[in-house]
């Protein structure tokens, strides 16, 4: 399973809010909802977050084995 819990931690460290992502960077609220639910998102979306947050993929997502 892919978890995006690290994304929220990285956003907090960088001082970027969900509101900023939507208003300043044009991220759709639907994409943020998908990430909150740990649903699939495209690699393009992951790349956009890496650029915005100036971080690596592992700062956004983590793989764990399903039980």
How far apart are the C-alpha atoms of 3 and 10, rounded to whole Å? 13
This prediction has a pTM of: 0.86
How far apart are the C-alpha atoms of 53 and 59, rounded to whole Å? 9
- Is 62 inside a domain boundary? no
Query: Mean pLDDT, to the nearest integer, of 27-33?
Result: 95
DSSP single-letter state for residue 37 = T
- Is 15 inside a domain boundary? yes
Total domains present in the chain: 1
- Is 64 inside a domain boundary? no
Tokens of 63: 């793989």
Q: 32-46 pLDDT, tens per residue?
A: 999 999 999 999 999
How far apart are the C-alpha atoms of 35 and 29, rounded to whole Å? 10
Q: Scanning the structure block, which residue is given the tokens 């909802």?
A: 33
- Alpha carbon of residue 4 to chain centroid: 6
């Amino acid at each position: 399973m892919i978890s995006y819990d690290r994304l929220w931690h990285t956003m907090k460290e960088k001082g970027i809010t969900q509101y900023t992502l939507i208003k300043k960077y044009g991220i759709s609220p639907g994409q943020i909802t998908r990430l909150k639910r740990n649903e699939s998102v495209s690699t393009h979306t992951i790349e956009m977050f890496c650029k915005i947050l100036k971080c690596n993929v592992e700062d956004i997502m983590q793989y764990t084995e399903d039980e």
